[in-house]
Structure 1
Amino acid sequence: MQTHDTNQTLGAFEVLPFSRTCQIIWEEGDHVLIGVSPGNSYFNAERIAELADWAQRRFAEIDFVYADLHVEEMFAAFGYSREHAARRAAKELKAVRRRLVKGVGRAGPPEGSTRVRGLSEFGGNPVYQLQHRRVRHFMEHDDAFRKGCEDMVRYFLEAKVGDGEAPSEWQRRVCLDYIAAELPFFVDTPGILGVPSSVAAYHTVMPLTEVLYARGGGLRATRNQAYAVVRPEGLERPEGGVARAA
């Protein structure tokens, strides 16, 4: 697999591996995971096509994985009635899968293997199950990890609740369920998917990134798991944590 200098803009995207180890894994080019949230306007069909084209020229395998667990509960927590939340979740999930399939198709014949899957498809995967249990354990028993999860809750909910209004315990719990379903892929995508190494790519720094890639004990990303911010050229640089490897 051809490698590239991540100090340069790659096509329409700028790539910022989180650490030097992340850059090494990036350069191996084995696999990239692109996580997609339903209802996120960033992931329109054109952006997905650009990401797919970009990834296919740099990685042997590509997985677009969209969050389809706890979505109805999230809409209910945002204030929708149960009936409306169910309809909205079904509509958003149908739309996000359609955009992904359309975008990947527009990218042209892949040089590697490109897949589109929902989180729910991994419920029976033993490595996913193990990492999900570990995520839940550390949410309860590790202060640093719990704080990172709470930061993510605020990130998700700050635009959804009223100004100055703290999330309710129910809103917080639903949001933690949603986050916990995604986190196994930030910890051990290689183990879940059976690939030699993997880069989790997202367009901003996730609040838990500092924790997952820190030294020491606790829940940490596996040695062959990397994280990189991959964003369109010209977007404001994310603050802190992301290191350009020399």
Structure 2
Amino acid sequence: MLNGAQHDSRLEPTEWSHGMYVEPYSERCRGIWHRGEHALIGVSAGNSYFSQDRLARLLAWADKGFAQVDLVYVDTHIDTMLIADGHSPAAAAKSARGTLKDLRRRIRRAVEGAAVAPGRLRVRALTELLDEPRYRSVRARTDQALREEPEFAAVVDQMVGEVIRHRIGGERPATASRLEAGREYVAAEAPLFMDAPAVFGVPSSVTCYHMPTPLQRYLVRPDSAVRAAAGHAHLVVRPPEPVRAAAS
């Protein structure tokens, strides 16, 4: 999912849990995690961190600690961002198809390797959620907050800048077309960070990512104008390294 900032020592103390290091963003997040009702695992296309082995470890961890697990991989606006980088529409579409094909293969093999209990895991592309009423309701609230809350909009723009830097490096300019494509990408994901319980129809949910992000830090702050839903927690979850390279 979102490409985040470097490790933030202000998170709550690390716990060792079923072979993974876990850092809650707050004590409230820790309490929701220990309910064990639902985990959301977000996977970014084109992000080399998400090897088959890391995904398998994360899924095995979630299977041990949660009644339900949703893995959502981001397949939105990939071609749009490639076009903004200067690719032709045809080349962008071809590259996006290849990227997603590789990601789906890694996810499929990771699911097989993790041996998650039947019926406990759903794997879906983000585009499969876009027309669902629950997602659309949260997206409407997210878009309203982007229009009306300057600090929230600024944090989202910070995330957009990090997505762009991750894609093109720090030497190339963040053009207007790149910024617009990045905003579309982040805005599509933002509902999953704000109110996953509503999107997935669960009592509480924990978003699991391998590093802290500015958006998650903002959403869990008690003084933020826009906050994650009452039953929505955020964790940093990472395996001990080294990890084997992804299977080709």
TM bucket, shorter chain: 0.7 to 0.9
Select which of 229, 234, 239 maps to 1:227.
234
What is residue 191 of structure 1 aligned with on the other side? 198
Report 1:68-147 matches (<5 A).
68-110=75-117, 113-147=120-154
Report 1:132-211 matches (<5 A).
132-161=139-168, 163-211=170-218
What is residue 240 of structure 1 aligned with on the other side? none
2:126 corresponds to which letter in structure 1?
A: L
- Asked if the contact 1:76–1:82 (Cα under 8 Å) also holds between the matched residues in 2, the reply is yes
* Local SS of the residue matching 1:208: helix
CA deviation after TM superposition for structure 1 residue 233, in Å? 2.5
Q: Distance in 1 between matches of 2:238 and 2:37?
A: 20
Q: Is 1:53 aligned with 2:60? A: yes
Q: Describe the superposition over 1:127-174 as per-residue Cα deviations: whole angstroms up to 9, x where unpaired.
A: 211221222222232111111111111111114446454311111011
* Local SS of the residue matching 2:124: strand
- Asked if the contact 1:62–1:112 (Cα under 8 Å) also holds between the matched residues in 2, the reply is no
Q: Describe the superposition over 1:78-99 as per-residue Cα deviations: whole angstroms up to 9, x where unpaired.
A: 2322111100111111221221
Q: Distance in 2 between matches of 1:170 and 1:115?
A: 34
Select which of 17, 34, 39 maps to 1:27.
34
* Local SS of the residue matching 2:105: helix
CA deviation after TM superposition for structure 1 residue 210, in Å? 2.5
* Local SS of the residue matching 1:62: strand
- Asked if the contact 1:22–1:228 (Cα under 8 Å) also holds between the matched residues in 2, the reply is yes
- Asked if the contact 1:212–1:220 (Cα under 8 Å) also holds between the matched residues in 2, the reply is yes
Q: Distance in 2 between matches of 1:103 and 1:165?
A: 35
CA deviation after TM superposition for structure 1 residue 46, in Å? 1.2
Q: Describe the superposition over 1:76-126 as per-residue Cα deviations: whole angstroms up to 9, x where unpaired.
A: 222322111100111111221221121011112427601110111112222
2:104 corresponds to which letter in structure 1?
A: R
Aligned identity (percent) is 36
Q: Distance in 1 between matches of 2:142 and 2:230?
A: 17
Q: Describe the superposition over 1:170-206 as per-residue Cα deviations: whole angstroms up to 9, x where unpaired.
A: 1101101000111111111111111111000001111
Q: Distance in 1 between matches of 2:119 and 2:65?
A: 9
CA deviation after TM superposition for structure 1 residue 41, in Å? 1.1
Q: Distance in 2 between matches of 1:227 and 1:28?
A: 13
TM-score, with normalisation over the residues of structure 2?
0.86
CA deviation after TM superposition for structure 1 residue 234, in Å? 5.4
* Local SS of the residue matching 1:57: helix
1:13 corresponds to which letter in structure 2?
A: M
- Asked if the contact 1:190–1:225 (Cα under 8 Å) also holds between the matched residues in 2, the reply is yes
Judge which range, 66-75 or 155-164, deviates more. 155-164
What is residue 49 of structure 2 aligned with on the other side? 42
Structure 1: tracts of 5 or more residues without a match: 1-5, 236-246
